[in-house]
């Protein structure tokens, strides 16, 4: 059955706010006597009426913190609703988000409290580009996922969160994560290893080194992200991360690079932020996703609104299982076709990871964050 999901915009004039939700386009199906509930069941994969060729379907991916750059909003302002999205977000956040995305400075947009809302809104602005130029991409979208804060964009896209609620949640998320970071000297590194690299053993040795040779107790050093085969992020105290950098050859690591983030995200050190986010989320209206949204925690689709309520706050204390998510979305038989994949948001980082995870799926990958002419040319190739 052809996907009947489409992106629709709605304005609430009384509060001058803006939200994006997925709705079910049931014009053609209503003529057949099918109702919206039945269509939603089909889209969630609970009932299959006919086999669908994967090459006629699409997946949308949303990037996370680290993808931002000054000027990232400029190419989207020509599309309907985008300026209103930034205005709405600015009203909620209490500062001019569009100006920050257009003009920086870089030092400010890189701050966690500014970066996360900026990436969220710019990613959803990318959806507006898809809606304007290639609406058929959204009409045939069956699945979505987002890396870290990108998961909030995915949940808005799938109709589980309103645009406004997502902005408020991400603002609180970023603020609480920054507070947790300020309590200790922590950070993250990205590591490229190989078949012989034992990431967990290296982290354990780093903690032991800090205890025995530096007399530092309660050190954290854990894998915080499974990005691709033999590619990880590790979060923890800086003294432990410095050990990994200095001893990388001992663990067969090709590269250990300190990331430009302010703390140990997706680790137990974010526990205070988790509690605050859980309390706030309890008062937010969450809907069942209309299409599959894959969770960072385990790489599997959310089952329901209740599932989102439970897992989403925990996300910031658990590793991001991105490699596992890619396997869940793109596992196919040798002769089976792949869906088309669109990265909605600043940059092309998720495309690079997809290439490492699944080269066949990457052949059908398209970044939305390109000029319209390049986008059209690439789209013709898919």
pLDDT tens profile 285-341: 999 999 999 999 999 999 999 999 999 999 999 999 999 999 999 998 888 999 999
Report the DSSP pairing between strands 221-228 and 231-237.
antiparallel
Question: Residue 290: which of 36, 49, 2 has the closest Cα?
Answer: 36
Backbone φ and ψ for 255, nearest 5 degrees, come out as: -150, 135
Inform me whether the pLDDT recorded for 46 exceeds 90: no
Note the pLDDT tens digit of each residue in 214-249: 999 999 999 999 999 999 999 999 999 999 999 999
Per-residue burial over 185-214, b if 16 or more Cβ lie within 10 Å, else e, is ebbbbbbbbeeebebeebbebbbebbeeee
CB 97 within 8 A of CB 116: no
Domains and CATH numbers, the chain: 5-180+271-381 (3.40.366.10), 182-264 (3.30.70.250)
**Of 148, 160, 262, 295, which is the active-site residue?**
148
Catalytic residue among 123, 266, 295, 321: 266
Helices (H) and strands (E) in the chain, counts: 17, 12
pLDDT digits (tens, 9 = 90+) for 168-203: 999 999 999 999 999 999 999 999 999 999 999 999
Active site residue 16: no
Give catalytic status of residue 266 as yes or no.
yes
Q: pLDDT for 109-122, tens place per residue?
A: 999 999 999 999 99
């Amino acid at each position: 059955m052809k996907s009947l999901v489409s992106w629709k915009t709605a304005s609430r004039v009384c509060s001058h706010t803006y939200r994006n939700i997925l709705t079910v386009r049931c014009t053609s199906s209503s003529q057949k006597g099918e109702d919206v509930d039945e269509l939603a069941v089909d889209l969630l994969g609970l009932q299959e009426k006919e086999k669908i060729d994967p090459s006629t379907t699409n997946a949308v991916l949303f990037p996370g913190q680290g993808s931002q750059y000054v000027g990232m909003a400029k190419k989207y302002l020509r599309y309907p609703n985008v300026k209103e999205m930034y205005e709405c977000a600015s009203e909620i956040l209490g500062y001019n988000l569009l100006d920050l995305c257009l003009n920086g400075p870089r030092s400010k947009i890189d701050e966690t409290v500014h970066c996360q809302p900026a990436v969220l809104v710019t990613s959803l602005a990318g959806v507006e580009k898809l809606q304007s130029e290639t609406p058929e991409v959204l009409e045939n979208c069956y699945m979505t996922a987002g890396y870290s804060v990108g998961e909030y964009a995915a949940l808005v896209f799938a109709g589980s969160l309103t645009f406004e609620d997502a902005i408020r949640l991400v603002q609180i998320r970023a603020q609480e994560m920054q507070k947790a970071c300020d309590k200790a000297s922590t950070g993250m590194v990205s590591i490229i290893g190989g078949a012989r690299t034992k990431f967990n053993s290296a982290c354990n040795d780093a903690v032991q080194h800090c205890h025995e040779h530096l007399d530092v107790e309660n050190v954290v050093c854990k894998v915080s992200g499974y990005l691709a085969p033999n590619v990880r992020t590790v979060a923890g105290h800086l003294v432990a991360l410095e050990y990994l950098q200095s001893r990388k050859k001992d663990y067969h690591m090709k590269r250990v690079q300190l990331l430009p983030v302010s703390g140990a995200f997706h680790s137990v050190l974010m526990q205070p932020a988790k509690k605050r986010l859980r309390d706030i989320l309890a008062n937010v209206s969450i809907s069942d996703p209309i299409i599959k949204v894959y969770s960072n925690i385990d790489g599997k689709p959310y089952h329901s609104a209740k599932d989102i309520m439970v897992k989403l706050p925990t996300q910031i204390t658990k590793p991001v299982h991105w490699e596992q998510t890619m396997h869940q979305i793109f596992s196919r038989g040798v002769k089976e076709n792949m869906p088309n994949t669109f990265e909605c948001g600043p940059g092309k980082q998720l495309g690079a990871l997809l290439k490492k995870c699944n080269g066949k799926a990457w052949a059908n990958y398209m970044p939305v964050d390109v000029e319209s002419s390049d986008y059209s040319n690439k789209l013709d190739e898919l």
